[in-house]
Structure 1
Amino acid sequence: MEHKTTTDDLLDVSKTPSNGVTDGSDVAPDRERPVSDGSGETQEGVKRIEAISMVWSKWGLIAAYFGIFLMAFTTSLEGQVTYSVVAFATSSFSSHSLIATVYVIQGVVNAVIKPPMAKIADVFGRLEAFIICIFLYVLGYIQMAASGNVQTFAAAQIFYSAGSTGLQILQQVFIADTSNLENRALLSSIPDVPFLATVWIGPIIGAAFIATSSWRWAYGIWAIILPLVFLPLALTLFLNGRRAKRLAPPPEKHISEGGPLTAVKKVVANIWYSLDIGGILLLSASFSLILIPLTLTKTTPGGWQSPTIIALIVVGGVLLVAFPFWESSKKLAPHPLIPLELLKSRTFCAGCAIGFFYFLVFYLSVQPYFYSYLLVVQHQSVPAAGHITQTFSFTSTVTSIVVSLLIKYTRHYKYFVTSGSLIYLLGVGLMIRYRTEDTTTGSLVGTQIAVGIGGGMLNVPAQLGVQASASHQQVAAATAVFLTIVEIGGAVGAAISGAVWTQNIPSKLSEYLPADVASQAHTIFGDVTVASNYTLYPAGSPARIAINRSYQETMHTLLIIAISLCAPLVLISLLMRNYKLDAVKQGVKGKVIGGNVGENEKELVEKSQTGVM
């Protein structure tokens, strides 16, 4: 009789640490780890990556991780370059304030695309999912570069963000496929390592595009570069997938009776249920309808009283309430987008909540308007503003690498999550004190370093805790849900920022600008190049004082909201279980970094090593 895997089999956590002393903190007594996607079966894409893992060679894994790094470096550099030009892109359409709308659209797409992309990877395969992401990424680049108005530019974020966030989740899923828990935190930091260089060179390249060419080329050039750097990973996955098929051919699939029409209907139904298309539509529509209107109240007739704004938010709320009912129905969602079994895990829920508040605060304190604040109030150059803003990314990356090494040798992650939440809270508090018009550049950089250290101690360890609470079949879904909640936090933060910015800046400009400049308030609000023009509005002039005061007071309001929403992080971090990572077994099959191949798999691996690629 075939042995059926149980939750106890997957947990298998030793109650006795290596030193022989136990306090019970390493064990999840409620056996909280789920084992499937809710349907009780392993999906085809998971089986395929497990088969590929059986035949990995040392150099095959090295080549795959080189491909991951190469793609990460490219997308990281692209992000830094385009971040430096987005204010100028929206300003070219006289719509600088709609930066928040752009980021909300990105956040919504980033949020809703992760679970379906993880589903695609589980159903069809990792390589196929990567190819889809590259295609969407390139399509978004082309549309942004060719956009003739802000509506087209904003719409391009759908394709761009789908491809971008799809690559992000697939990189983390691939790392989870090929590493054990002790080494996963360190390997999960690989996509972040390029930030150590790109945060400095990206703004310089962005400034060069603005000065010598066009912001359009800052987007269009990546449509050429990204497909090229994807080739090493694609080739590695393709060759190893073919090798796995040759050594262990999959069972033949027979076309069902009933003719071509019946076969097509069955294929469509299989895709609908396997990917949970209904859940995808509900989730994406709900967040889009709730968050995007928040940034459009100032440009919509009637503002908050507009029937359109009210109707969109109400409908979005109804769809959001309907989503968990859809997901819990075995008939409507036999393969749920977000397996509800995950919600039984205290660690999973706490980790997701940490990700939510972490990114929510980030999009209130750093993104999306700190860069504009530096240009206007602090009179920083484009490269300098980019460098100051991206100090956060540099610091958080260095910190996450150091923390990942410490996790590898301590076998624990919770200490870093709690410590990071305290430092993050301190950093936001320092922003309130030192992000003022008369502050020094060193003080601005110092606050970025503080929040960067806190962020680096929060994000990777929290993701690791979430992954530790899931089986291998669920690790893609768990990672996707965590990153989805992170993006939702960012989208909510961007929506709040956009609402505060569009409500405060225009009214304050109208109040503070001298009578002879008051008619230019709309232009100043809509174009950052005008607002930051110290030749047109010299330092010390009534107009400059009015502009800077409007920006400064609005930034202070955003930071007050940020620190209020940062406080819950400390309490939530205490709810996560303190797993002893080397004692947690996830049922990952095949050859992984830091792990061993199971006895029942050695024969196939040995056979693969004698095969010809």
Structure 2
Amino acid sequence: MDKNENELRQRRDHEQTVFQAQDANDADNSSIMAVDKDSPGVRRIEAIVSTWTIKDRVYFLGALVVMTYARTLAATTMGTYQSHALNDLGEAGRAGMVRTVRQVLTATTLPITAKLSDYVGRTFILCATAVFWIIGPVIVATSNSLGAYMPGFLIYTLGHVCGNILNYALAVDTTTLRNRLFMQFVYIFPSIINVWSSGVIAAKFVNGVGWRWGAGMWSIAAPICTIGVIAVFAWGSFRARRLGLMRGIPSAWGLFTSGKRWVHLFWVMDIPGLFFLAAGLALILLPLSLGGGVAAKWRSAECIVPLVIGVLCLPMFALWEHKWARHPIFPFKHMKDRHVMIILILSFVKSIAGSTRDSYLYFTLIVSFNQGVEGATRINTLEGFAGSVTLIFVAFIVRKYKIVKPLIIAGTVLQIVAQGMLVHFRGGYGKSQLAGLIAGEIIEGIGNGLSSHPSLVAMQAKLGHEHALLLTSCWAVGSQAGGGIAAAISGAIWTQLMPGKLRAGLEAAGVPNAARVAQQVFRSPLTFVKENPPYSVGREAIVPAYRDVQYILCIIGVVLMAVLLPLTFLIDNVSLDDRTTLAKDTESDTSDEPRHLGPNGVDDRRELNTFEDEKRDVPATKT
């Protein structure tokens, strides 16, 4: 009898060991499947926000305002410092190339940042923003060549990308459709202050201690301004854990402790797709912006070969995304919706139109309009100022009437008018020319405030929470890719036409060594302007060149904006109510069933699937 009992006990122990191993493997696999259905970062922020009181929301908005103001002021002044850095390095003609690299980096990192925000969490992205802000400006401030400048500039750009994604994510996380534009206003209202303060700050640094100190300052100031938002998230996370709302949600650290999770993260980030997209954009756009000039390098093999490879990479990207990508960068299921697709096209083409005109506007303002650092910086920010003020009224209109389509159409019409005005007013020392330019910038800003963010909210209205941030990143990718294409177009036009026009003007004015002087002006126009005041022979010889090239850039903007107007009539006239979305939150790309949240705030079905093994640890209820 004892012998039979021992054999039964040994067999039961062996079976229990096998079952435990299978359960552990199934639990790991099912947790990965749960990540597929609803990302841990999304579930974590939902749990945190559910614990917030009115006081917590006030603290959050206050901290967010401080962080956003610092980020937008840094972006505005860093743009001015960049122009002076390129001038001092003798690389002013490569401003289009620098802008192209920035836009390509931004466009290709936005999707991966959005996915990381959903997968790992908002706090991870916030901390990454602070780290990039610390490192980038320091490298920029200590650079002595374009090759040394670019790494720091790109690291700072990554911090800007993370900040943008965080803004989009928090707007979706914390607001309803009717109130979402108020949150967007929180992000862009600093433009109202910056239009007056940024020029003064930039001028004080440029004319005083220098642009290097102005850039390096942000490595200290900007990260400090993120501490408030980090503290709000940390407190909310602590309270959510104490209430049990985090049960079943993997921690950010836990997501990186398993080999399977790393493999899963590789496919979630769609690294092969990102490679094809980044290679395609970079290899097409960079040769366009680098070519031109006196030597017409774009006709050489060093420009033609990258162009050919880049053209091949984009079809490979489309093929990969359509056939093999497990988690495509662009969710094609939602992009088949006409409403969503038109809004993405509007973002893409409007960015090309506006950025083509603005790529060299700072240099045109100083050379052709005789503006100083403060004036040129201020005029460059007028569009954002007008857009921010307009958005206040738009937010109240949307809250009352719940519709955005008429606003989008009106905004597009105003942008076409503004582009036409900027074609006419593109240089001159008189007040009328400057007033016309300023009026055009303000009207452009009003049109942008009426159309840009309202169209984004209209798109988000038709998406579930799980997909809203990813499609929002696609919207931003379209804008940044459009900016990259615009920078390449403007860079190609500028480098191809400007040297010849400068030389022709200088020769016509009888300036000695016209060819050499033309190259000096092309590389460092701000230095030449300091030595040649208005109405001097040299200054008057170069102004027509800047007017003529700026005219071509503005014409491109007018044509592109006019093409967009018919598309705005095809957008759905969605009604924005008090829900966070007009679509059902989906559990996966193939399911339209609503989520079933248990008393702890976590999906009951996910609990059953992912943590089935935990049930065995719960003692049975006595009857």
Q: TM-score range by the shorter chain?
A: 0.7 to 0.9
Distance change (3 Å), C-alpha of 1:160 and 1:526: same
Q: Distance in 1 between matches of 2:250 and 2:573?
A: 45
Give the length in aligned residue pairs: 549
Kindly provide the CA deviation profile for residues 157-204 of structure 1, in whole angstroms up to 9, marking residues without a partner as x.
321111102211211111111111111122112110011001111111
Residue 127 of structure 1 aligns with which residue? 123
Kindly provide the CA deviation profile for residues 37-83 of structure 1, in whole angstroms up to 9, marking residues without a partner as x.
99961111111112212212222222222222111100111122222
Question: Does the CA-based 8 Å contact 2:384-2:445 persist in structure 1?
Answer: yes
Q: Distance in 2 between matches of 1:38 and 1:542?
A: 71
Corresponding residue SS for 2:68: helix
Q: Aligned partner of 1:526: which letter?
A: R
Kindly provide the CA deviation profile for residues 349-402 of structure 1, in whole angstroms up to 9, marking residues without a partner as x.
11111111221111122x221111111111111111112222111111111221
Residue 165 of structure 2 aligns with which residue? 169
Distance change (3 Å), C-alpha of 1:410 and 1:304: same
Question: Does the CA-based 8 Å contact 1:358-1:455 persist in structure 2?
Answer: no
Deviation at 1:603, TM superposition (A): 7.6
Corresponding residue SS for 1:181: coil
Kindly provide the CA deviation profile for residues 63-116 of structure 1, in whole angstroms up to 9, marking residues without a partner as x.
222222111100111122222222211011111111111211111112111111
Q: Distance in 2 between matches of 1:457 and 1:208?
A: 34
Q: Aligned partner of 1:521: which letter?
A: A
Q: Distance in 2 between matches of 1:406 and 1:475?
A: 23
Q: Distance in 2 between matches of 1:108 and 1:279?
A: 14
Q: Distance in 1 between matches of 2:273 and 2:56?
A: 36
Distance change (3 Å), C-alpha of 1:90 and 1:484: same
Q: Distance in 2 between matches of 1:491 and 1:397?
A: 24
Q: Distance in 1 between matches of 2:470 and 2:413?
A: 29
Larger displacement relative to structure 2 (435-444 or 211-220) = 435-444
Q: Aligned partner of 1:447: which letter?
A: G
TM-score (norm 2): 0.84
The correspondence for 1:183, drawn from 175, 179, 184, is: 179
Residue 188 of structure 2 aligns with which residue? 192
Q: Distance in 2 between matches of 1:562 and 1:115?
A: 27
Q: Aligned partner of 2:487: which letter?
A: A
The correspondence for 1:432, drawn from 423, 426, 443, is: 423
Compare CA radii of gyration and give the structure with the larger one: 2
Is 1:68 matched with 2:61?
no
1:5-24 equivalences under 5 Å are none
1:76-95 equivalences under 5 Å are 76-95=72-91
Deviation at 1:545, TM superposition (A): 2.1
Corresponding residue SS for 2:52: coil
Deviation at 1:252, TM superposition (A): 8.4
Q: Distance in 2 between matches of 1:603 and 1:124?
A: 21
Q: Aligned partner of 2:226: which letter?
A: F
Is 1:412 matched with 2:403?
yes
Q: Distance in 2 between matches of 1:411 and 1:479?
A: 20
Residue 545 of structure 2 aligns with which residue? 550
Corresponding residue SS for 1:579: coil
Query: CA RMSD, aligned part only?
Result: 2.5
Q: Aligned partner of 1:374: which letter?
A: L
Residue 477 of structure 2 aligns with which residue? 484
Residue 311 of structure 1 aligns with which residue? 305
Kindly provide the CA deviation profile for residues 257-303 of structure 1, in whole angstroms up to 9, marking residues without a partner as x.
xxxxx975423312201222222222222211111221111369651
Deviation at 1:324, TM superposition (A): 2.3
Residue 346 of structure 2 aligns with which residue? 354
Q: Distance in 1 between matches of 2:379 and 2:448?
A: 16
Distance change (3 Å), C-alpha of 1:415 and 1:479: same
Distance change (3 Å), C-alpha of 1:219 and 1:303: same
1:233-272 equivalences under 5 Å are 233-248=229-244, 249-251=246-248, 265-272=259-266
Q: Distance in 2 between matches of 1:342 and 1:454?
A: 27
The correspondence for 2:325, drawn from 333, 338, 342, is: 333
Q: Aligned partner of 1:560: which letter?
A: I
Larger displacement relative to structure 2 (572-581 or 273-282) = 273-282
Q: Which runs of 5+ in 2 are unaligned?
A: 1-32, 587-594, 603-623
Question: Does the CA-based 8 Å contact 1:38-1:341 persist in structure 2?
Answer: no
Q: Distance in 2 between matches of 1:168 and 1:253?
A: 25
Q: Aligned partner of 1:553: which letter?
A: D
Residue 204 of structure 1 aligns with which residue? 200
Q: Distance in 1 between matches of 2:41 and 2:249?
A: 16
Distance change (3 Å), C-alpha of 1:604 and 1:565: closer
Distance change (3 Å), C-alpha of 1:538 and 1:581: closer
Q: Aligned partner of 2:554: which letter?
A: L
Distance change (3 Å), C-alpha of 1:96 and 1:253: closer
Q: Distance in 2 between matches of 1:568 and 1:154?
A: 35
Question: Does the CA-based 8 Å contact 1:356-1:486 persist in structure 2?
Answer: yes
Larger displacement relative to structure 2 (377-386 or 320-329) = 320-329
Q: Distance in 1 between matches of 2:130 and 2:284?
A: 29
The correspondence for 1:282, drawn from 262, 270, 276, is: 276
Corresponding residue SS for 1:328: helix
Residue 26 of structure 1 aligns with which residue? none
Q: Aligned partner of 1:152: which letter?
A: A
The correspondence for 1:322, drawn from 299, 307, 316, is: 316
Is 1:392 matched with 2:383?
yes
Residue 605 of structure 2 aligns with which residue? none
Corresponding residue SS for 2:281: helix
Question: Does the CA-based 8 Å contact 1:206-1:218 persist in structure 2?
Answer: yes
Q: Aligned partner of 2:279: which letter?
A: A
Residue 293 of structure 1 aligns with which residue? 287
Q: Distance in 1 between matches of 2:297 and 2:444?
A: 34
Residue 32 of structure 1 aligns with which residue? none
Kindly provide the CA deviation profile for residues 233-258 of structure 1, in whole angstroms up to 9, marking residues without a partner as x.
1111112112222322433879xxxx
Question: Does the CA-based 8 Å contact 2:293-2:496 persist in structure 1?
Answer: no
Q: Aligned partner of 1:356: which letter?
A: F
Is 1:377 matched with 2:371?
no
Corresponding residue SS for 2:291: coil
Distance change (3 Å), C-alpha of 1:253 and 1:126: closer
Deviation at 1:542, TM superposition (A): 3.7
Residue 7 of structure 1 aligns with which residue? none
Q: Distance in 2 between matches of 1:507 and 1:320?
A: 34
Q: Which has the higher contact order (CA 8 A, sep 6+)?
A: 1
Q: Distance in 1 between matches of 2:168 and 2:100?
A: 23
1:434-453 equivalences under 5 Å are 434-437=425-428, 439-453=432-446
Percent identity (aligned): 26
Larger displacement relative to structure 2 (63-72 or 173-182) = 63-72
Q: Aligned partner of 2:340: which letter?
A: F
Q: Aligned partner of 1:413: which letter?
A: V
Distance change (3 Å), C-alpha of 1:113 and 1:600: closer
Residue 29 of structure 1 aligns with which residue? none
Question: Does the CA-based 8 Å contact 1:94-1:526 persist in structure 2?
Answer: yes
